[in-house]
Structure 1
């Protein structure tokens, strides 16, 4: 895992180069979450609303809305699909995203309509990490994990 200015950036994930990460799970299912720098910029998360299982989502539409004391925003899915599973833990404890953005705090699992093209607009590996580092510098982010 790469680290830059305190931000964890797993090389094996796929990124939209803004604030969403995606991990292929097999059988056309992809896990979606928010990056470490994005959770830092949002502040301590206080609310998470995640679409219900079975909800169809168009590419670019939000699978979830997150809120902190200073920010509210959606979590877009980079491909069309159906919510296969949502992370129920986040409904009661959205702050978990501030603690473990790549682990227990994934947001939803989406069954892609076209799994063979689900990752077409995303980036991974060294090029993605370099682009995320540039994003971190541009927004002057110093990542930190919030405690309980």
Structure 2
């Protein structure tokens, strides 16, 4: 895993180069969450609303809304698909995103409408890491994880 200014940046994920990560799963589904720099900028998350299983979303629509004491924003999906799972733990304790954004604090799992095009607008590897470092610099982020 790469790290930059305290921000963890897993090389094996796909990124929208803003604040969303996507992990293709072996079963053809895609797990989506928010990056370490994004959770740092948001502050301690206090509320999460996630679309229900069975909801169909077009690319760019919000699958979740997260709120902290200083920020509220939506979590867009990078491709059209159906919500097949949501992380129920986050509904009770959204602060988990501040603790483990790439692990237990995933937000949703989607079944893409078009499997072959799902990752077309996402980036991975060196290209993604370079762009994410630039994002961190632009917003002057120094990542830190909240404690439980």
Flag whether TM exceeds 0.5 (same fold): yes
Post-superposition shift, 1:136?
A: 0.1
Superposition RMSD on alpha carbons, in Å?
Answer: 0.6
**Match of residue 60 from structure 2:** 60
Post-superposition shift, 1:99?
A: 0.3
- Secondary structure of the equivalent of 2:146? coil
- 1:1-148 correspondence to structure 2 within 5 Å: 1-148=1-148
- Secondary structure of the equivalent of 1:122? coil
- Secondary structure of the equivalent of 1:18? coil
Post-superposition shift, 1:145?
A: 0.2
What is the number of equivalent residue pairs in this alignment? Answer: 148
Long gaps (5+) in structure 1: none
Long gaps (5+) in structure 2: none
The 2-side partners of 1:28 and 1:110 are apart by 9
- Secondary structure of the equivalent of 1:83? strand
The 2-side partners of 1:113 and 1:26 are apart by 17
Question: TM-score, structure 2 length as denominator?
Answer: 0.99
Question: TM-score, structure 1 length as denominator?
Answer: 0.99
Moved over 4 A (4+): none
